[in-house]
Amino acid sequence: MLLAHQIAMTNPEMVLAEGVSAQEFMDLSATYGISSVPDTVINGKGRVIGAVPENNLIQEIKRLMGA
Amino acid sequence: MAYQRILNDDVLNQVKDIFKQLTNEVKVILFVSASAEEVSGITQQLLGEVCGASDKIHLEVFDVVNDNAIAKQYKVSGKAPAIVVAAKDGDVITDYGIRFLGVPSGHEFGTLIQDIVMVSSRESGLSEAAKTYIKSLASPLHLEVFVTPG
């Protein structure tokens, strides 16, 4: 979650990073079929499961949004 | 009923120690809701104890329904408890896009503390390459990180 917040802080006009408690927001979790955590959903489409290093998350964001 | 703290003395003293390094001021905004009364109450108490550990942190609480214009401004409409960690420079609040939805307990409590320290430093700590890329984004990026408390 901290990594996502670091990304948001870098460009807050473009980025919103929400840490979501899966148990308290069950409807939202169900929408995405969350089964294991941490699970990072990117623009409602991309997924990165697990706590990954900065480069891994950035690469997945680039893949979805264009480098 | 006597007030019972959520944070024990050990944890509170550790948090106070960590917050001694805070330089710039931080605004923590909490949105609560009657429809999530218990978790909203727990979150409000927890944030009260955390924010009370430093005079550089300022907590403000809104109701996500009654203050829906403010909730919309911070993009947390209909979500409670929702936490915003923002920068405060005098009367100017800078939203860094940082949100928690739910009670920040367990591992996420540590993340909350780290977020406060990070925002106070006004430095994200990302690598220069990542910063360059993220600053170049031409369309919105929404990250939702699902976690389990505890």
Q: What ipTM was estimated for this complex?
A: 0.97
Report whether B33 contacts B44 (CB < 8 A): no
Global pTM reads 0.95
> Which among A12, A37, A58 is the nearest to B97, CB-wise?
A12
Q: Which two tokens stand for residue B26?
A: 């931080």
pLDDT exceeds cutoff 60 at A52? yes
Q: Which two tokens stand for residue A14?
A: 């473009």
Which residue segment(s) compose the domain that A12 sits in? Answer: 2-65
Q: Which residues pair with A46 in a beta bridge?
A: A42
Mind telling me how many Å the CA of A9 is from chain B's nearest CA? 5
Q: Which residues of B touch chain A, with CB atoms under 8 Å apart?
A: 36, 39, 75, 79, 85, 94-104, 108, 111, 114-115, 118-119, 124-127, 130-131, 133-135, 137-149
Residue B60: the pLDDT is: 98
Residue A43's pLDDT band (cuts 50, 70, 90): very high
Give the Cα separation of B22 and A61 in Å (integer).
Answer: 31
Q: Which residues of chain B make contact with A11, given a CB cutoff of 8 A?
A: 97, 134-135, 137, 141
What is the rounded average pLDDT for all residues in chain B?
95
Mind telling me how many Å the CA of A56 is from chain B's nearest CA? 11
Span B61-78, mean pLDDT?
Answer: 95
Q: What is the pLDDT of residues B41-57, one digit of tens each?
A: 999 999 999 999 999 99
Per the structure, the count of domains in chain A is: 1
Mind telling me how many Å the CA of B8 is from chain A's nearest CA? 23
Residue A46's pLDDT band (cuts 50, 70, 90): very high
